[in-house]
Amino acid sequence: MDAVLRALAMYLVLLLLFRMIGKRSMSQVTTFDFVILLIVGESTQQALLGEDFSITHAAVVIATLLGLERLSDYLGWRFPRFRRSTSGTPVILVADGKPLMRTLRAEHLTIEDVTTTARETHGLERLDQIKWAVLEPSGGISVVPWSVADEPGRPVPDDVPRR
């Protein structure tokens, strides 16, 4: 019965705290957000099992972590410089179909990582079909393909669909 009451108490604490914090889609979760969720899980587990942690102590730890995360979100919204320093900025990996090898090496990425994303998102097969490939602060790669509207004078390869 003690385990059920502990689980109910932690469920209510987490429900209340996460409702107060707000919603964020999984595509917007950063690596740091994921680490925070792991720490919250560890704190919750210790409180649920009752190993040297009271439910009150776990709730305080979780509330503190979530409060700091919310403060960080606010500071990032309010001060762009803070956001850039904590979240990072987009990095161009491919420009005009040419890979930026120094940037790829610095980010520990390969050309195959970019072409895989290009195939999965746009069905592109070659780098010369990519206008821009950008490593986003979230860790995903965005690909912008060439299109006829982008460059009226640019010849379009035969295998690129025409509008």
- pLDDT tens digits for range 10-42: 777 776 776 666 555 455 567 777 777 777 787
DSSP string, the chain: -HHHHHHHHHHHHHHHHHHHH----GGG--HHHHHHHHHHHHHHHHHHHTSS--HHHHHHHHHHHHHHHHHHHHHHHH-HHHHHHHH---EEEEETTEE-HHHHHHTT--HHHHHHHHHHHH---SGGGEEEEEE-TTS-EEEEE--TTT-TTSPPPTTSPP-
For the domain 89-145, what is the CATH superfamily, name and number? bsu07140 like domains (3.30.240.20)
Confidence label for 131 from pLDDT (cuts 50, 70 and 90) = very high
| Range(s) of the chain covered by CATH 3.30.240.20 | 89-145
pTM surpassing 0.75?
Answer: no
| Residue 94 confidence (pLDDT) | 95
